[in-house]
Amino acid sequence: MRDTPAHATQPRAALHGHYPHAQSVAEFRQRLVAVQDRIAAACARAGRNPADVRLLPVSKTIDEAHIRMAHAAGCRALGENKPQELATKAEAMADLTDLRWCAIGHLQTNKARLVARFAHEFHALDRLRVAEALERRLQAEGRGLDVYVQVNTSGEASKWGLPPEEAAPFLRALGAYPALRVRGLMTLAMFSADADRVRACFAGLRTLRDRLRQDAPAGMTLDDLSMGMSGDYEIAIEEGATVVRVGQAIFGSRALPDSHYWPGMGG
Ligand SMILES: *Cc1c(COP(=O)(O)O)cnc(C)c1O
pLDDT tens digit sequence for 3-22? 444 445 666 544 456 899 99
Q: What is the pLDDT of residue 262?
A: 64
Does residue 163 belong to any structural domain of this protein?
A: yes
The answer to whether residue 245 is domain-embedded is yes
What rounded mean pLDDT belongs to the chain? 92
For position 94, which CATH number holds?
3.20.20.10
Contact 195, 235 (CB under 8 A): yes
Query: In the predicted model, what is the mean pLDDT of residues 104-127?
Result: 98
Q: Which residues line ligand 1 (CB under 6 A)?
A: 58, 60, 81, 104-105, 229-230, 245-249, 261
Q: Which residue has the higher pLDDT, 46 or 219?
A: 46
Q: Whose CA is nearest to atom 6 of ligand 1?
A: 247
Residue 5 is assigned to a structural domain of this protein: no
Tell me the best of 38, 229, 261 to mutate to test the pocket of ligand 1, counting ligand atoms within 8 Å of each CB and taking the most. 229
- Range in 9-18, 31-40, 94-103, 163-172 with the lowest mean pLDDT: 9-18
State how far the Cα of 231 lies from the Cα of 229, in Å rounded to an integer.
6
Residues in contact with 63: Cβ distance below 8 Å, sequence separation at least 6, in sequence order: none
Tally of structural domains, the chain: 1
In a domain, 93, yes or no: yes
Confidence of residue 157 (pLDDT cuts 50, 70, 90): confident
Residue 182 placed within a domain: yes
Can you give the residue range of the structural domain that contains 241? 25-253
Q: Is residue 97 part of a domain?
A: yes
Per-residue confidence (pLDDT) for residue 2, from 0 to 100: 38
pTM: 0.92
In a domain, 10, yes or no: no
In a domain, 259, yes or no: no
Whole-number Å distance between alpha carbons of 118 and 151: 24
